[in-house]
Amino acid sequence: MPVKYKIKKGDQVIVIAGRDKGAKGEVLKMLPKEGRAIVKGVNMVKRHQKQTQTTEGGIISKEAPIQISNLALIDPKDGKAARVGYKVLDDGRKVRFSKRSGEVIDV
């Protein structure tokens, strides 16, 4: 059974451990089978790329996947790392909320 993560594509996250600790960025892609995510501007690596008809060759910088355990969602109120919980609103919608401030993350 696949693991369900509380971080989704498009979320603003902060790196809480590793080489890029403190860096903030947007989740570009989730890789749930590997337990990793690709975050814009975080965990940058250099790759040698061969020239093709559409792309130029040379050494390019791109984002490498980072462990989801090293990421935390950013609290919408104060911009710091926050844990995530779920709650059901009065109208029946299930939403994610920040346990730090109680602010609803999903809109």
pLDDT digits (tens, 9 = 90+) for 56-80: 999 999 999 999 999 999 998 999 9
Angle at 23 (CA atoms; ends 22, 26), nearest 5 degrees: 135
| Position 10 pLDDT exceeds 90 | yes
pLDDT, residue 107, reads 58
pLDDT, residue 71, reads 97
Dihedral sign (CA 9, 18, 76, 99) = positive
pLDDT, residue 1, reads 60
Amino acid residing at 34: E
Indicate if 33 and 2 belong to the same structural domain: yes
Indicate if 1 and 41 belong to the same structural domain: yes
Indicate if 81 and 70 belong to the same structural domain: no
**DSSP, res 27:** E
| Position 91 pLDDT exceeds 80 | yes
User: pLDDT tens digits, residue range 11-68?
Assistant: 999 999 999 999 999 999 999 999 999 999 999 999 999 999 998 999 999 999 999 9
Indicate if 19 and 43 belong to the same structural domain: yes
Indicate if 63 and 95 belong to the same structural domain: no
**Nearest CA-CA partner of 24 in 75, 84, 85, 99:** 75
- Cβ contacts of 25 within 8 Å, gap of 6 or more: 12, 13, 39, 40, 41, 42
CA distance 81 to 94: 22
Indicate if 47 and 83 belong to the same structural domain: no
pTM for the whole structure: 0.86
Total of domains in the chain: 2
Domain that holds residue 96: 77-107
Indicate if 24 and 50 belong to the same structural domain: yes
